[in-house]
Homo-oligomer: A and B are copies of this chain.
Amino acid sequence: MVPKIRIDPGVVEARIMELARIGACYETGVCRTVYSPEWVEAQAVVERWCTEAGFATRRDAVGNIWGRVEGSEGGPAVVSGSHIDSQLPGGRYDGALGIIAAITAMEALVAQFGPPKRPVEALSFCEEEGSRFQGASFWGSRAITGQAPEGLADRLIDPQGTSMADAMRAVGLDPARIHEARRTDIGDFIELHVEQGPILEHAGYPVGIVNVINGARGYRVTVVGDSNHAGAMPMDLRRDPLVGAAEMVIAVQQNAVRLGRPAVATVGYIHAEPGWPAIIPKSVTFTINTRHNDRDALNGMAAAHEAAMREIAARHGLEVSWTGGDGLDPCPADPTIVALLEQSARDQGIAALTMPSGALHDAQRMAQIARMSMVFVQSKDGRSHTPEEYSSIEHCVAGIQVLAGGLYLLAW
């Protein structure tokens, strides 16, 4: 039985607002990229919170912040946290809330129940969004899980031409020591995050418990036809790549609609070359991002996308090619951790829906070295990756209570 864990809404709100001011942009937005001055300031705040809470605090080789409470019986650590960096612009909750939740939950648990039996750690990942260095996504959890290969920091370049390695040096980190961030002594990892979708709101739950993180496949597709004069080339003699690409956009969307939830497929980027109103395009490039919680269903949907693209291209006499098609497989959460979080919610009287995560998370990487699950907090209107992102303090507190109950069952 999990006793009701007392979380102070005032502390949660104050911490959200304190982090929200660092890199504030677009009124209610946050622009905080890895190794930027705003990032340094935000990680310093996280470090101060951990120190003030009495945690043993340290910064690792890639800039993740760890706050640790030793356990009286030792053993592998129970870790909770999320990422400090943001989209450009992102909102106040994506990532930040998970760090605040871990610190606030640990403080509350120590205050209410004394020191834990197992060591417990709050974690602020240095980078998750890939919003400064394309290809850097999940940098923090990749380093912790030993998936940040030698030399990669030299090859990742931001739009201003700065390499990740130089950006690390500028904040006092040594790229030669990245491998030292690796951890092999973590037993369990729970990440609290805003849902970033509308499912909890529609179903009327403040909190979700994640039983699987959906897998994703990504494509960059190019369709090539013949560029010609938009006035002088009759319709019956055209090879217009945008007409083919438009059919592909619809086919890809229909493939996901037919499968039903949780299948999704999105074309977020499209570009016609040369892109003049009076010229039939020579080529069209677009992206596909498609996800499912079941590996076979995901692969089947990806195959359906590929078949549709080939069929449409052949029917219109167009050439089609793509890169990608790979991605992350669906990542099931650990059933034991899911069950503990469900118990935590039930015992504390908080309505929680067990559900898949549509978005990718650091938790997916952490699952390779630890038992993993996640706690979701309801997102208003399902909005995320925008300054309009919002979750109520009431829902945030409910999520932190569910997280805290899980930590209690694992470590106290």
**Range, interface on chain A:** 35 or more
The reply on A253 being an interface residue by CB < 8 A is yes
Task: Please encode chain A, from 258 to 297, with 1 for each CB lying within 8 Å of some chain B CB and 0 for all others.
Answer: 0001111111111110011111110010011101000000
Query: In the complex the two chains form, is B262's CB within 8 Å of A234's CB?
Result: yes
A249 x B253 contact (CB < 8 A) = no
Quote the shortest CB–CB distance from A193 to chain B (angstroms). 10
Interface: A44 (CB within 8 A): no
Interface residues of A in 148-185 (CB under 8 A from B): none
- CB distance B280 to A272 under 8 Å? no
B contact residues around A218 at 8 Å (CB)? 277
Tell me how many chains of this kind the complex includes.
2
Chain A stretch 179-208: residues in CB contact (< 8 A) with chain B = 195-199, 202
Let me know if A61 is at the binding interface, CB within 8 A: no
The answer to whether A269 and B268 touch across the interface, beta carbons within 8 angstroms, is no
A270 touches B272 (CB 8 A): yes
- A311 on the B face (CB < 8 A): no
A17 at interface by CB-CB < 8 Å:
no
Give Cα distance in the complex from A196 to B237, angstroms.
Answer: 13
A228 contacts the other chain (CB 8 A): yes
Say if the beta carbon of A227 comes within 8 Å of chain B.
yes
Flag whether A28 is at the interface (Cβ < 8 A): no
Q: Assess the B269–A272 pair: CB atoms within 8 A.
A: yes
Q: Is the CB of A261 within 8 A of B234?
A: yes
- Compute how far the CA of A287 lies from the CA of B222 in the bound complex, rounded to whole angstroms: 20
Q: Is the CB of A196 within 8 A of B267?
A: no
Q: Flag if A235 contacts B250 (CB, 8 Å).
A: no
B229 touching A196, Cβ below 8 Å: yes
> Does A233 sit at the interface, judged by CB under 8 A?
yes
Give complex CA distance A289, B288 in Å: 27
Pick from A202, A216, A229, A383 the residue with the most CB of B within 10 Å.
A229
Are B289 and A234 within 8 A (Cβ)?
Answer: no
The answer for the CA separation of A253 and B289 in the assembled complex, in Å, is 27
* A257 part of interface (Cβ distance < 8 Å): yes
Does B269 contact A232, Cβ atoms closer than 8 Å?
no
Check if A277 sits within 8 Å of B264, measured CB to CB.
no
B residues near A257, Cβ cutoff 8 Å: 235-236
A360 lies within 8 A of chain B by Cβ: yes
Indicate if the CB atoms of A233 and B268 lie closer than 8 Å: no
- A82 contacts B by Cβ under 8 Å: no
A358 on interface, CB distance cutoff 8 Å: yes
Q: Tell me if A247 counts as interface (CB < 8 A to partner B).
A: yes
Q: Is the CB of A197 within 8 A of B280?
A: no
Chain B residues in 8 Å Cβ range of A227 = 385-386
Instruction: Let me know if B261 and A268 touch, CB within 8 A.
Output: no
> Do B233 and A358 touch (CB < 8 A)?
yes
Cβ of A238 to closest chain B Cβ, rounded Å: 9
In the complex, A350 has a CB within 8 A of chain B: no
Assess whether A104 is interfacial by the CB under 8 Å rule.
no
5 examples of A-B residue contacts, CB within 8 angstroms: A199-B232, A235-B256, A240-B266, A243-B253, A271-B271
Closest 5 CB pairs of A and B: A197-B232, A232-B358, A230-B266, A231-B358, A277-B287
